[in-house]
Structure 1
Amino acid sequence: MLHERRYDIDWLRVIAIGLLLIYHIAIVFQPWAMLIGFIRGPEIMESLWTPMTALNVWRIPLLFYVSGMGVYFALRKRNWKQLLGERTKRILLPFVFGFLAITPLHMYIFQGYYGMPLSYFPHAGHLWFLGNIFVYVIILSPLFFYLKNREEGSFKKALSAYMGNPLGPLSVSVFFILEVLLVKPQLFELYAETWHGFFMGLLAFLFGFLFVYSGKAIWQTLLKWRWLYLGLALGLYAVRFFVFNLQMPGYVLAIESNCWIFGLFGFAYKYLNKPSALLSYLSTAAYPVYILHMFALYAGSYLILPLEIPVFLKFVGIVAFTGVVCYLLYEFVIRRIGFLRPLFGLKGRGRKEKALKEKGNALEEVVGPTR
């Protein structure tokens, strides 16, 4: 597993960010949207929120799991100085840039929509996730490197054996339950800039690392028992929806959240662990799109919500507007302008890459596009 490329994990990152866009757009059509800093439409579509309630207990924890897995893969060819330097460039720099230059744009649009005086208001906004990830890397790096240097040790062998049964992955939910009981979040689904979000993310980040560190046994478990995990998730959601009117205790939501995630890992491992040109493009674009999407969403809301069209068309219009604007900005601005690339989490273009690009452009002039 040391040199295996995990395309399924790349796909899950892309899918999670795509769902994040839809989730945030759905908030625009909820009666409480303005309370959390979103532009609210004049018409409400509360029915949109029903499917979102099935997403909101696992979408952010999934990204933390995947981020922890990413650190394991990064450690394979890096020492601690290289890891911290790389994560500073790829996470801290985009976070600081977004804090100062991207999220204030949301506030300008918000203020303009509601006729408020325009003012510069830098804030973390949706980029709180990046700040958390960077802190987790700082906190957990000593443990990660300790484990890396003992890949043949007894802990890894015991962990691999333990994760070889279906209760192994499920048992990590005990830690998430304890987090809820100790932190006592007002809402389980309220992750942004809360202690609950911080500690829940820390646990998911840690176990994401440990899952890939433990070896192939856990993936065989997740693959074999994927229907069990998905069935448990659906059952708990059904109870939450029909019995508790979505007001399930947080410690139960912690179990439901992990069941969704483990089921997704199993299905992704079976069906998505294969390379594709589409994945190669989307996995690179996902990070800049995540950073940009709230600006595009707010701009789309500003332009489309006042239109005299059915509310469902407004929702579809904002989805399309957000997707198109993010694509255009990524494809024709961010990925093509060298100094912008690091600000959006992309690697800069080195001399070798530039030379290959020039060679490719020359070839395209002769034989047409090569891809």
Structure 2
Amino acid sequence: MTTERRYDIDWLRVIAIGLLLIYHIAIIFQPWAMFIGFIRSEDALVGLWEPMTMLNVWRIPLLFFVSGMGLYFAMKKRNWKQLFIERGKRILLPFVFGILVITPLHFLVFQNYYNMPLSYFPHMGHLWFLGNIVVYVIVLLPLFFYLKKNENGKFGMTISKVMTYALGPLSISAFFMLEIGVVQPQLFELYAETWHGFFMGFLAFFFGFLFVYSGSAFWQTVSKWKWLYIVIASVLFAIRFTRFESISNMYITSIESNSWILGLFGIGYSYFNKPSALLSYLSAAVYPVYIIHMFVLYAGALLILPLDLHPMLEFVGITLFTFIVCFLIYEFILKRITILRPLFGLKWKFKSVVQKELKRI
């Protein structure tokens, strides 16, 4: 079974969060932005949404798959008590802190931009993802430890065998299609704080674990057939996006979503499974950046939109502002102030600080 550090999975997590930032910035330039609580530019960039419709169907599911994979690797080093404590510190603590402190900040910026009375409003906002993960860990961890204990049993052998076929990994789409049939969401990409987002994430988290659990069979298959998955996804996206969209539906979109994700896993495994200094830095930074990015994004919109620039310049300006300021906050505040580190999902360096003080004494 797989035990080594998987740099390709780290890269996919970093890329997915980076795309999430760009996706959220693009919403500002859509006519319907205010309906979902975003600051809206008076000058729309409707064409900007066209590539976003491709990202829509796999960016969040990919993160749930990666989270399930991450839990498998974490189980290699911890028992169930240690894992509950570790996940509580890394996910539950930032989630609760974020609801109380971080998400109200971007709502205050929203109120200020539209000259509304300022009020404190704790809410999940974009951190709903973390809340889902907490539930998945609590519900699935007993099953995962049972599977880990019996990973050489019939179930493990069967999963490994299924994953050797090109359509093996893609066969999980049947479960996602079943979810569509049962939940019947209004839109496939409506994930935040919906039952569709919850159950879709549950399936992705579960199968992310199973993919790694199946061993090398999965990775060899997605590496071999990665371009087939990308072609399948591209064809289904073209059908969804063009005048043939009438023959598309959310059941087919489930296949498209998983095809993109499997193709990305294959590309990552083939080309990005190697260490680098840049990846080490970004892997540590990406989680706190995800937590703070909405506040920074709204602040950028507050400063740049009133300048009345060309909308494309506004988009570029807010994008640069968001990425630069997020990483500056991470580098010079969140990373360096010990008490803030665990609140943003970073390891608490309390022991190292104590050791340094003892050495001085």
1:364 alignment counterpart: none
Q: Report the alpha carbon displacement of residue 291 of structure 1 after superposing the two structures with TM.
A: 0.1
Q: Report the alpha carbon displacement of residue 157 of structure 1 after superposing the two structures with TM.
A: 1.1
Q: Report the alpha carbon displacement of residue 249 of structure 1 after superposing the two structures with TM.
A: 1.3
Q: Report the alpha carbon displacement of residue 243 of structure 1 after superposing the two structures with TM.
A: 2.7
1:220 alignment counterpart: 220
User: Matches of 2:203 and 2:328 in 1, distance apart?
Assistant: 36
Structure 2: 5+ residue runs without aligned partners?
Answer: none
1:71 alignment counterpart: 71
2:249 alignment counterpart: 249
1:4 alignment counterpart: 4
Which amino acid letter does the alignment assign opposite residue 145 of structure 2? F
Q: Is 1:36 matched with 2:31?
A: no
Residues 299-344 of structure 1, C-alpha deviations (whole Å, 9 max, x = no match): 0001100103211110000000001110110000001000100000
Q: Report the alpha carbon displacement of residue 353 of structure 1 after superposing the two structures with TM.
A: 7.0
Q: Report the alpha carbon displacement of residue 150 of structure 1 after superposing the two structures with TM.
A: 0.8
Listed as ranges, the matches of 1:153-164 within 5 Å are: 153-164=153-164
Task: Tell me whether 294-303 or 2-11 shows the greater mean CA deviation.
Answer: 2-11
Which amino acid letter does the alignment assign opposite residue 195 of structure 2? W
User: Matches of 2:281 and 2:354 in 1, distance apart?
Assistant: 18
Report how many aligned residue pairs link the two structures.
359
1:363 alignment counterpart: none
Q: Is 1:262 matched with 2:262?
A: yes
Does the 8 A contact of 2:33 with 2:39 survive in 1? Answer: yes
* 1:315 alignment partner, SS class: helix
Does the 8 A contact of 1:94 with 1:345 survive in 2? Answer: yes
Q: Is 1:182 matched with 2:182?
A: yes
2:152 alignment counterpart: 152
Which amino acid letter does the alignment assign opposite residue 21 of structure 2? L
Does the 8 A contact of 1:289 with 1:330 survive in 2? Answer: yes
- CA gap 1:114/1:302 in 2 versus in 1, 3 angstroms: same
1:80 alignment counterpart: 80
Listed as ranges, the matches of 1:171-210 within 5 Å are: 171-210=171-210
Which amino acid letter does the alignment assign opposite residue 183 of structure 2? V
1:165 alignment counterpart: 165
- CA gap 1:97/1:159 in 2 versus in 1, 3 angstroms: same
Task: Tell me whether 242-251 or 133-142 shows the greater mean CA deviation.
Answer: 242-251
Does the 8 A contact of 2:39 with 2:298 survive in 1? Answer: yes
Which amino acid letter does the alignment assign opposite residue 33 of structure 1? A
* 1:196 alignment partner, SS class: helix
Q: Is 1:331 matched with 2:331?
A: yes
RMSD of equivalent CA atoms: 1.6
Q: Report the alpha carbon displacement of residue 356 of structure 1 after superposing the two structures with TM.
A: 8.0
- CA gap 1:333/1:357 in 2 versus in 1, 3 angstroms: farther
TM-score, normalised via structure 2 length: 0.97
Residues 177-203 of structure 1, C-alpha deviations (whole Å, 9 max, x = no match): 000010000000000000000000000
- CA gap 1:115/1:274 in 2 versus in 1, 3 angstroms: same
1:299 alignment counterpart: 299
Which amino acid letter does the alignment assign opposite residue 108 of structure 1? L
TM-score, normalised via structure 1 length: 0.94
Residues 224-275 of structure 1, C-alpha deviations (whole Å, 9 max, x = no match): 0001000000000001111345894111111100000000000000010000
